[in-house]
Structure formats: structure tokens, C-alpha cells
A and B are shown apart, each in its own frame.
Chain A
Amino acid sequence: MALRRRREARHLADARVEALSTFGQLLVAGLLTGLVFALVAVGLTLVYGVMDVVNFAHGEFVMLAMYAGFGLALLGIGPLVGLPLVSIALFLFGIVVYRLFVRRLLTGPPEASVFGTFGLLVLMQGLAQALFTSDYRSVPNPPFQGTVQLGVFALPQAALVEGLGAIVLTAALFAFIEYSSVGRAMRAVSEDRTAATLMGIDVQRINLLAFGLGSACAGAAGALLLLSNPAFPDVGASFALTAFVVVALGGFGSIAGALLGALIVGVLEVLGGYYLSPELKMMPVYLAYLFVVLVRPQGLLGRR
């Protein structure tokens, strides 16, 4: 009798340990997933913060970066060496798009930038469809395919590299905005455009730089995402949708907010998927978003 009770107690303890380690594994996976979301979200929030424009084509910039990274991979250039190249290429692409197109949207009514960047999304997807076809392009035998065993947790290397990239990127961007003179000028423009102009800041140039930097962020994100995802014309859409929620949750224009929002979304999505149902995994994410919109419309770290 006592023996059976002891055995039952041991079973119960085992089950508890297992449940706890599953929870831990999910939590870690959620945080890593969140960092990947942050990768895409920081560029989006930067552009919004400075220019007051939500770039609906941001996901398509990521898509373009993935194709660029894929092209480099075919030439034998790996993702980590390719990352700065792709970022620079996307920076230049962003500058061109700004000069030719986005600049004109800023002079129109607010809806102009919504419809304009959405049009850019459709155009870029269509062009990718026509030029690259809808085939999935995956890098042959990509690097970082193993796992790192941390106690009971198995952490995929690709996710670790992507997460690390997100942290470095966010920190660098944060430092740039906070401490460099151009960053200060960007903050000035985002706080009060007219006052900034009166202080002698060239708002056009700051806008141009912000859009270029936002595109470069999309470039870095695309180069890293290629570690675990194939490139295809619609690939940006799935990442961008989450990025919009992340940015709204963390606060439009806030870089630290994008990181915080991304971590929350990642954890909620993974835990929701396991404890509710995979079909409902976005529900806690959108509920949290609704809650924030109702009680704190500027987002967690956003300014009014």
C-alpha cells in the first residue's frame, strides 16, 4: 500500500517535472521566436517614428533581401558575410524608392502614404512573381542546422543566430538614435517636424536616411531569416503581419517597444499554440493587442 502510494507520488513528481520542462522549452522557444519578429519590426517602427509613415511594403523589402541573400548563397557567400552586403544593397534600394516615390507621398494627404506603400507591396510581389516565379528558393544545406543543448532545453542554432542578430541590430539602432547627432536629429524630427526645421535640420535628408536605415534593417532581417525559411514572393506578408501587431503593441516609433512587443508576441503565440490549440495560437496575441489598444492606445512604450 505504502509502496504503491510512493510509486504514484514518484509518477506525479515525474509528470510535474516533465510539464515544467515542457513549459520551459516553450518559453525559451517563444523568446527566440520573439527575437525573430523583432528583427522585422525594428525597421518598420523606425520609419514610422521619424516619418509618420507605416510602410506596408516593409515585408516585401524583407522578401527582396531574402532573394538577394539566396543569390549570394548561390555564389558561395554565406549568410553572415552576406548580411552586411544585403543590408547595404537594401539601404541603397530604400534611398532610390524614397527619392522616386515615398517623397511624393509625404506631400499628399495621410491616406496617400497608406495607399502608396500598399501599392508598392502589390507591385513588388507581382514583380517577384514575374521575375523569380512562385517557386520556393531554399539555400542548399544552409549552415547552423544543429541544436545547442542547454540543460534540458534544445535550442536550434539557426534561431540562436537570428535572435543574436536581432539583439545586436536593435541595440545598434537604439544607440544610434540615442547618441549620434543624426539620431538626435531624427528624434527631433519625430517630436516636432516644424520646430526641427526651424532649428536648421534638413527634414528631407533625415527622412531619406530613416527610410534607408529602415530598409537596411529589412535587409539584415531577410539575410538572417533565410537560415530557416525559403524565399518566395509572398514570404514577406506572413512576417509583416506579425510585425504590425508587434509595432502597435510596443508603441509606434519606439525601438525598445518593438523589442518588448516582439518578445511578448513570440511567447504568447508559442504558449497559446501549445496550451490552447495551434489553430488558436494567434488569439492570445490579438487579445493582448486589443487590450493594449483599449487601455494604452499609444502602445506599451509609445509616446502620445
Chain B
Amino acid sequence: MSARALAVVLAAAFGLTALPGGAPRAANPPPDIVIGSILPLTGPLAQTGAGLRTGQELAVDLINGHVSYPLPAVGHSGLPHLGHARIRIVFADSQGKPDQARVAAEELISQEHAVALIGSYTSSTTATASQVAERAGIPFLNSDSSAPGLTTRGLHWFFRTTPSDATFAENFYQFIADLERTRKQKTVVKKIAIVGEDGLFGTGAGDAEAAIGSQRGFTIVTRVAYPATTTEVNAEVQRVKSAAPDAIMIASYLPDALLFMRGFKDQGVTPQAILAQDSGFIDPGFVRALGPDAEGIFTRDVFSLDIKHRNHAVPLIDQLFRQRFGGKPLDGNSARDFMGVLVLADAIDRAGSTAPEAIRSALAETNIPGDLTLMPWSSIKFDAQGQNVGGAGIIEQIQAGKYETVWPFDVAVKPVIWPMPAWKH
């Protein structure tokens, strides 16, 4: 069964309307509209890049197709306000390197005549590629980089749909506040320890956690930044232990995340909660390596298939994604890139033109309600800096070896276990 046929069947099963795609295509179809996409297609991030590419390609096929979903811009056989012109996406490889991302952006603009760019996963490549778009006067949509600084550069042509690490930090404190509000017994969290690798990811997350924590009246008892490639974290664990925090907020890749969790266990560091910024903590290797020691750890995530409780397109898109990506489920990265392409297509369609300034204005006026997305967001609306103000993450807790959504409470599938269970010896 082809992907499209299956989608029709599934859509019918879920009570969706399969609309015949608007007006039939004219004898002389309008030229394709080219979107340039910069992704890490080779190098250490090649695997992630392949997933992102699949998400974007799926989005383009649904935009050019005629099956309706509760999602923007899809199912109209192209862009209706542009004579049903089809979207074509051209990929360029960043290799995960900032200088290569710049070259890729230049090629997409000068040789492929892309009307807009999308990309490019790592914050450092997004920084350089978006600078090229800025100089050329072409809209750049970023759907997957979370360094807070990207939207404070004063760029005119830059838009970001994903929440930044500042939002995720805010979510941690909101989660604690919501818990204190709803629980009969008061959750008393005052002292926070912040741990993070000393690259852009850990530092950005840590800065946001420290700033927002202080604003909200928490005491940051220690801030530990360590080199990501370290092979031992004895001193770091001892520092956290000496500070005796109520909760630990941590941003690590997998090898260091494992070192920290084993170190906390060995040294008997037992906070009420460990709140992690995904990455190493949502790697499949995390639970596999730690087994029962992973129980009760919280991690923020950008997406969960549990969102199906709000938008029933989620399992359908997941199905289509699996067919194209070797059975692997739709994840947060691919879901964000899928949405990114839809947001861009929606703006180009509303602009009714491929002129850069028209697309930019339409992007700035974007207003998509949260339940028309695959994401746990309240809406997609950009502020003056181009940051989506409706973004939010979810918080999951590892319970019986599985990641269960526990916050926000309206999409939660399991109740929170607080404080986290003691380490088992």
C-alpha cells in the first residue's frame, strides 16, 4: 500500500475529510517554489540529519498532496494562492560545521534561487547560515536550534519556531510551581544546583536556569560547568554533594550524563529531583546503560507521541514517517522540522508571492493555533525578534524504564513521582 493510500485510509478511519485538492492543475503549471534546506547530512550528525530530511520531505509531499489533516498548508495540491504551485525542497550539506553551513547557504541562494532557507539543527551552524540569508535579504526559518542567543542578534530575516533553552528552563520552574500548587503536601524546593557541559548547549541552558531561578526566588547553590569530553566527573559530583541541593538541573551528552548519574549514586547525592535538558538523557543508551538507576529522573523533551491526545494527526504523521524511515518513530527533531516546512509554506501561500519582503511580512503575521500543530505549543506567533512566543516543552519522567509525559498536566499520561526514588544499592 502506498504511503498516500494508507494516509487516506487512516484519515478516513479517524473521521477526517479527504478533500479532493482544490482546483485541478492548469495545463501550464506554475514553476516550483524552491526552499533551500541546510542540514548535517554527513559527518557525526548524519543520522540525525537523515531523520530531519525525512521529516521535511514528508511535509513537502503533504503540501503538494491533496489529503487534509488538521495541520496548516497541507492537502491543497500545492499553494492555492500561487496557482497551486508546488513546493520543491533542495538540500545542502552542512557536515555539522559552521563554515560549511555558510557555503551551503550561499549556494542555495545563488545557484538554486531558493526563496527562503530552513535549517540547520546545531546552533552554531544556524548562526552562520542565517547570517548569509540576512545579507542576501532572504527569510531564514529555524525550527530546531535551541541556543537562546540566536534570536537576540537583531536579525531582520530570522524566525525561530522551536522554543529556546530559556523556555525550557522556564518550564522546569513552572513545573515545580504547578506541583506545589496542586499537591496536598507541599513540595519544598529552594536550593538548585546547575550542572552543564561548557559548550554552547550547556552554558546557554545553565545561564537561563540561573537567571530565571533567581528571578523566581530560588537559591542557586552551585553552578558546575565541565568540559564535555571529560572522562571523569569526580570533582563535579563532589561539588554538587557539598552544596546539598533540593533539585539538580543538568545539561549533558550521553557519556557525561552516565558518568554523573553513576557518580551521584556512588556518592549518595539524593536530591528530590534531577531535571535534565534532554540530549544524553533521552538517548536510547541512557536507560539501557543505567537500568533501574534511571528510575524517576525527569527530562524535558520537545515532543512526545502523547500529543495525540490534542491533535489526532500525530499518529497518522508518525505512521507515514515510520514508512519512510525504516520503522523508526517520529521524534522531536523530525517533528519540529516537519512543522517548520509547513510554517514556511503557509507564509509563502498567504504572501501570494515569492518576493522575499512579502514572505517575510507573511511570516511575521503567522498565527497558527497550537492544536493545528504536532507540538506541545500553545500557538505559532513570532515576536519582534522572530522568536515563536507560543513554544513550550514537555517534561517526562522515567517510570518502569519508559519515558512518560508528566507535564503539562493536560497532556500527561502518568502522575508525577516526587521525590524521585532513592538510589538502589
Question: Do A and B make up one complex?
Answer: yes
In the complex, chain B residues 274-291 whose Cβ is within 8 Å of any chain A Cβ: 283-285, 288-289, 291
Verify if B425 is at the interface (C-beta below 8 Å from A). Answer: yes
Q: Chain A residues near B238: list those with CB within 8 A.
A: 22, 25-26, 29, 274
Shortest Cβ gap from B270 to chain A (Å): 13
Verify if A146 is at the interface (C-beta below 8 Å from B). Answer: yes
Shortest Cβ gap from A227 to chain B (Å): 10
How distant is the Cα of A279 from the Cα of B235 in the complex, in angstroms?
11
Verify if B411 is at the interface (C-beta below 8 Å from A). Answer: no
Q: Chain B residues near A279: list those with CB within 8 A.
A: 198, 225-227
Instruction: Establish whether residues B235 and A230, one from each chain, have CB atoms under 8 Å apart when the complex forms.
Output: no
Residue in contact with A138 in the complex, picked from B258, B266, B267, B425, CB distance below 8 Å:
B258
The digit string for B396-407, where 1 denotes a CB below 8 A from any CB of A, is 000000000000
Shortest Cβ gap from B149 to chain A (Å): 19
Instruction: Establish whether residues A147 and B255, one from each chain, have CB atoms under 8 Å apart when the complex forms.
Output: no
With contacts A140-B291, A237-B229 known, is A135 near B234, CB below 8 A? no
Q: Chain B residues near A29: list those with CB within 8 A.
A: 232, 234, 238
Shortest Cβ gap from B339 to chain A (Å): 25
Instruction: Establish whether residues B239 and A278, one from each chain, have CB atoms under 8 Å apart when the complex forms.
Output: yes
Interface-facing stretch out of A116-124, A198-206, A264-272: A264-272
With contacts A29-B234, A136-B285, A278-B224 known, is A129 near B44, CB below 8 A? yes
Verify if A234 is at the interface (C-beta below 8 Å from B). Answer: yes
Give the nearest-CB partner of A18 in chain B.
B242
In the complex, chain B residues 241-268 whose Cβ is within 8 Å of any chain A Cβ: 242, 254-255, 258-259, 262, 265-268
How distant is the Cα of A233 from the Cα of B238 in the complex, in angstroms?
30
How distant is the Cα of A242 from the Cα of B224 in the complex, in angstroms?
22
With contacts A138-B288, A235-B255 known, is A270 near B293, CB below 8 A? no
Verify if A137 is at the interface (C-beta below 8 Å from B). Answer: yes
Verify if B111 is at the interface (C-beta below 8 Å from A). Answer: no
How distant is the Cα of A208 from the Cα of B47 in the complex, in angstroms?
38
On chain A, the number of residues with a Cβ less than 8 Å from chain B's Cβ atoms is 50
Verify if A134 is at the interface (C-beta below 8 Å from B). Answer: yes
**Which of A158, A230, A279: most chain B CB closer than 10 A?**
A230
Residue in contact with A269 in the complex, picked from B44, B232, B254, B258, CB distance below 8 Å:
B232
Shortest Cβ gap from A231 to chain B (Å): 10
The digit string for A12-46, where 1 denotes a CB below 8 A from any CB of B, is 00000000001001100110010011000000000
Verify if A297 is at the interface (C-beta below 8 Å from B). Answer: no
The digit string for A213-226, where 1 denotes a CB below 8 A from any CB of B, is 00000000000000
Shortest Cβ gap from B23 to chain A (Å): 45
Residue in contact with A271 in the complex, picked from B224, B235, B268, CB distance below 8 Å:
B235
Instruction: Establish whether residues B234 and A33, one from each chain, have CB atoms under 8 Å apart when the complex forms.
Output: yes
Instruction: Establish whether residues B285 and A135, one from each chain, have CB atoms under 8 Å apart when the complex forms.
Output: yes
Q: Chain A residues near B267: list those with CB within 8 A.
A: 25, 154
Q: Which residues of B contact A (CB under 8 A)?
A: 43-47, 198, 224-227, 229-236, 238-239, 242, 254-255, 258-259, 262, 265-268, 283-285, 288-289, 291, 293, 425
Verify if A281 is at the interface (C-beta below 8 Å from B). Answer: yes
Q: Chain B residues near A277: list those with CB within 8 A.
A: 225
Instruction: Establish whether residues B268 and A154, one from each chain, have CB atoms under 8 Å apart when the complex forms.
Output: yes
Residue in contact with A230 in the complex, picked from B234, B289, B293, CB distance below 8 Å:
B289
Shortest Cβ gap from B251 to chain A (Å): 14
Residue in contact with B235 in the complex, picked from A156, A233, A281, CB distance below 8 Å:
A281
Q: Which residues of A contact B (CB under 8 A)?
A: 22, 25-26, 29-30, 33, 36-37, 129, 133-142, 145-147, 154-156, 158, 228-230, 232-235, 237-239, 241-242, 266, 269-274, 277-279, 281-282
Instruction: Establish whether residues A30 and B291, one from each chain, have CB atoms under 8 Å apart when the complex forms.
Output: no
Q: Chain A residues near B45: list those with CB within 8 A.
A: 134
Shortest Cβ gap from A283 to chain B (Å): 11
Q: Chain B residues near A25: list those with CB within 8 A.
A: 238, 267
Instruction: Establish whether residues A145 and B262, one from each chain, have CB atoms under 8 Å apart when the complex forms.
Output: yes
Q: Lowest 4 A-B CB distances belong to which pairs?
A: A273-B235, A138-B289, A274-B235, A29-B234
Q: Chain A residues near B230: list those with CB within 8 A.
A: 238, 281
Give the nearest-CB partner of B236 in chain A.
A278
With contacts A138-B258, A235-B255, A281-B235 known, is A145 near B225, CB below 8 A? no
Q: Chain B residues near A158: list those with CB within 8 A.
A: 262
Shortest Cβ gap from A243 to chain B (Å): 10
Instruction: Establish whether residues A36 and B232, one from each chain, have CB atoms under 8 Å apart when the complex forms.
Output: yes
How distant is the Cα of A142 from the Cα of B43 in the complex, in angstroms?
29
29 contacts between A and B (CB under 8 A): A29-B232, A30-B234, A36-B231, A129-B43, A134-B46, A134-B47, A135-B47, A135-B284, A136-B283, A140-B291, A146-B425, A147-B265, A154-B266, A228-B258, A228-B259, A228-B262, A229-B255, A230-B289, A241-B229, A266-B232, A270-B234, A270-B235, A273-B236, A277-B225, A278-B227, A278-B233, A278-B239, A279-B226, A281-B226
With contacts A136-B254, A136-B283, A138-B288 known, is A282 near B227, CB below 8 A? yes
With contacts A138-B285, A228-B258, A273-B235 known, is A233 near B226, CB below 8 A? no
How distant is the Cα of A142 from the Cα of B266 in the complex, in angstroms?
15
Instruction: Establish whether residues B229 and A238, one from each chain, have CB atoms under 8 Å apart when the complex forms.
Output: yes
How distant is the Cα of A279 from the Cα of B196 in the complex, in angstroms?
11
How distant is the Cα of A280 from the Cα of B45 in the complex, in angstroms?
28
Q: Chain B residues near A36: list those with CB within 8 A.
A: 231-232
Q: Chain B residues near A230: list those with CB within 8 A.
A: 254-255, 258, 285, 289
